[in-house]
Structure 1
Amino acid sequence: MKALFLFAIVALFCPLFGFTTTIAAGSGNDIYAVVEIGASGVKGVVVQTVAENADPENPPIKMLKQYEPLDKNAFTAEAAARVGGAVAQMHRQMVDEFKVPENHFYLVGSSGIPADVKSAIAGKTFLEGTTVEYIDATKEATLVFRGIVPPRRFSQVVVLDIGSGNSKGAYVEKAKPEATFSTYSIPWGTKTYAQEINKGRKDGSQFMVVADPLRKELVLPAVQSAVRDFPGMQNLRRVYLAGGTPWAMATLLHPEEIGPDKKGRESAWVKISVEDIAKYYGKATTDPAGLLQPDLSGVRKENRQKAENEVARVGKVFNHDQLMAGAQILKTFADEMHFERKDAIYFARRALYAWPQGYILEKLAAANAKN
Structure 2
Amino acid sequence: IARIPPANVFTAISSGVHIQAEKENKQNWVDQLINAFRFNFNEPERKVTVVDVKEEARLSHLGIVPDSRRYNTFLIDIGSGNTKGGYFPNGNTNDFKLFQLTWGTKSVANATEKNLGSDNSLDNYNRQMARVLTTAENAEIIYSVNESGSFPMSDNVAFSGGIAWSLATLIYPELIENSVVPVTYEDVAAFSEKLLKNYSTLTDQYMAKTAGDKNLNMDAINKEVKRVNQVFDQRSLMAGTGLLLKIMRQFQSVNERKNFYLVKNGSVGWISAFVNQNFPK
Which TM bucket (shorter chain)? 0.7 to 0.9
Aligned length: 262
1:179–1:135: structure 2 CA closer, same or farther, 3 Å change rule?
closer
In structure 2, the residue matched to 1:108 is 13
SS in 2 for 1:170: strand
- Which residue of the partner structure matches residue 203 of structure 1? 118
TM-score where L is the length of structure 1: 0.61
Q: Is the 8 A contact 1:193 1:325 kept in 2?
A: yes
1:169 counterpart letter in structure 2: G
- Give the Cα–Cα distance (whole angstroms) in 2 for the partners of residues 173 and 305 of structure 1: 42
Flag the 1:191–1:298 CA change in 2: closer, same or farther, 3 A: farther
Structure 2 counterpart of 1:320: 234
Alignment pair present for 1:173 and 2:89: yes
Per-residue CA distance 1:208-236 (angstroms, 9 max, x = gap): 23211111223442111112211214652
Taking the TM superposition and a 5 Å limit, the aligned residue runs for 1:143-154 are 143-154=59-70
Q: Secondary structure at the match of 1:144?
A: helix
Partners of 1:132 and 1:189 in 2: CA distance? 28
For 2:50 and 2:111, locate their aligned partners in 1 and report how far apart those are by CA, in whole Å.
Answer: 24
| Residue identity (%) | 24
Cα shift at 1:363: 3.0
Equivalent AA in structure 2 for residue 230 of structure 1: S
1:114-153 Cα shifts (integer Å, max 9, x gaps): 4568959646646715797543332222111111222222
Q: Is the 8 A contact 1:256 1:300 kept in 2?
A: no
* Contact 2:13–2:49 under 8 Å retained in 1: yes
Kindly provide the amino acid, as one letter, of the partner of residue 281 in structure 1: S
Shift of 1:333: 0.5
For residues 237 and 140 of structure 1, the distance between their equivalents in structure 2, rounded to whole angstroms, comes to 22
* Deviation, structure 1 residue 306: 1.0
Q: Is the strand fraction higher in 1 or 2?
A: 1
1:330, distance to aligned residue in structure 2 (A): 0.4
Corresponding residue of 2:202? 291
The TM-score with structure 2 as length reference comes to 0.79
CA shift for structure 1 position 101: 4.5
**Residue range with higher mean Cα deviation, 121-130 or 196-205:** 121-130
Following the alignment from structure 2 to structure 1, what is the Cα–Cα distance between the partners of residues 84 and 94? 18
Q: 1:78 matched to which residue of 2?
A: none
Residue deviations 1:279-306, cap 9 Å, x none?
A: 1221234444443456352565562111
For structure 1, which runs of at least 5 residues remain unmatched after alignment?
1-96, 260-266
CA distance in 2, matches of 1:312, 1:357: 27
Q: Does 1:304 align with 2:215?
A: no
Cα 1:132–1:287 change in 2 (3 A) is farther
**SS of 2:80 mapped into structure 1:** coil
Specify the alignment match of 2:244 in structure 1. 330
Distance 2:25 2:49 in 1: 10
Per-residue deviation, residues 224-268 of structure 1 (Å, max 9, x unmatched)? 111221121465221222111111111001111113xxxxxxx43
Calculate the aligned-residue CA RMSD, in Å. 3.1
TM-superposed CA distance for 1:98, in Å, is: 6.9
